[in-house]
Amino acid sequence: MNKSLVWINVCESSADNYGAMLMQELKTRRPALEIMGMGGPAMRAQGLKTVFRSEELSLVGLTEVFGALPRIMGYLKTIRTLMREKRPAALILLDAPDFNFRLARMAYSLKIPVLYYVAPQIWAWRKSRIKFLKKYVDHIACILPFEPAFFQEHGIKADFVGHPALEGLDLPGLEKISVENNEIAILPGSRKKEISSLLPLFSSAADILRENYPDLVFNVIQAPGVKIDFLRRFCPQKPWFKFIPPENRHQYIKKSCLALAASGTVTLECAILEVPAIVAYKLSWISYLAGRILIRVKFISMPNLILDDEIFPEFIQTRARVDNILSTARAWLDNPQQAALVREHLKKIKTILGDKSATKSSADLTLELLDKGKPNENN
């Protein structure tokens, strides 16, 4: 086992940011540590020895995954070969269970300890996978406070480490930014499929809102790893649409009077920044019907799950329509007290998430695995 090597595997844009923060913390504590695996631009900037780029595997739904299966199988074959050759001392998996579970199985066969950071949400759907986690994963670093009890109940080591979204925000600085009552954030997601299905919907609603509220400005937020030319394909070139680069996204979210958002990490960022958001999402019909059968939670956006209440209106699939978005947006714009009530509810989010550093806590668990290894490991 190579005690100076860690493999980190990330398949999503938000997880790439969390992985980069973890890499920075690990390298600070152990400068000689080598980190390789799959990641995005943020992790590459931290010196990841990149085997594959996570942008190439950012997929939504069953139909999209089926189309990419030959490529996915090729990735898995290469990773299996490299893990055998390199023998990392620990495998860190972030989210993306459909891909990362296969790596967990590989690590188990090689006696490589596994930390799952950003727990797969099996409490929401496909609960049967709990047996897999119990067998193949050594420890779970949970980013939601209600998750450890669920995993511990099934005999899995799990700790609440805090939520890394809080660390990615300069809260003291952002709290100085005042809300602009004529600015609305558009957050169409980080995956191409999300953007192509949601940005035309959001921009159509924005055009109609502009007719009734002529001073409105719509800030289209560019997610990390998304090219601005791709965003422009689905949003008309009009003066009230402004494209905001990723490095400025939090400032523009914070000063928005409301947001139109794809379901995902951005909804939690909106909640932390106390910005009312209208949440929409669309999938292929096969993916949507499968989800209806398997998903066992009332809401899809993280703030609603945490608060156990539909604070952010959710419009999914056939309900993701311009008229539904307009109805809520107009209510908030015409009655600021309604938006103020939403903001009041959102104040609870930071309290619930607490003040733990998810990055530092996950680094602690990673180094513990490095030093301890697996019982009876075959070196």
Give CA–CA dist 246/269, Å, rounded.
Answer: 13
Residue 328 and residue 367 share a domain: no
Is 347 or 374 the better-scoring residue by pLDDT? 347
Is 120 or 218 the better-scoring residue by pLDDT? 218
Counting Cα atoms < 13 Å in the Cβ hemisphere of 343 gives 16
DSSP 177-237: PPPEEEEEEEE--SSHHHHHHHHHHHHHHHHHHHHHSTT-EEEEEPPTT--HHHHHTTS--
The whole-number average pLDDT for the span 318-341 is: 96
Q: Where are the beta strands (DSSP E) in the chain?
A: 2-10, 34-39, 49-53, 88-94, 114-117, 139-142, 158-160, 180-187, 217-221, 241-244, 256-262, 277-281, 314-316
Residue 138 and residue 187 share a domain: no
- 87 falls within a domain: yes
Whole-structure pTM value: 0.84
- Please state, as a whole number, how many other Cβ atoms lie within 10 Å of the Cβ of residue 151: 23
pLDDT at residue 294 is higher than 50:
no
Q: What is the pLDDT of residue 119?
A: 84
Give the tens place of pLDDT for each residue, 89-103.
999 999 888 899 999
* DSSP state letter for 168: T
Query: Tell me, what amino acid is at 359?
Result: T
Give the tens place of pLDDT for each residue, 231-265.
999 998 999 999 999 999 999 999 999 999 999 88
The whole-number average pLDDT for the span 178-198 is: 94
Residue 82 and residue 38 share a domain: yes
Residue 113 and residue 95 share a domain: yes
- 377 falls within a domain: no
CB 181 within 8 A of CB 299: no
The whole-number average pLDDT for the span 310-335 is: 96
Residue 188 and residue 317 share a domain: yes
Give CA–CA dist 156/139, Å, rounded.
Answer: 7
Number of domains forming the structure of the chain: 2
Provide the residue range defining the domain that includes 116.
Answer: 2-162+356-372
* CATH code at position 38: 3.40.50.2000
pLDDT at residue 58 is higher than 80:
no
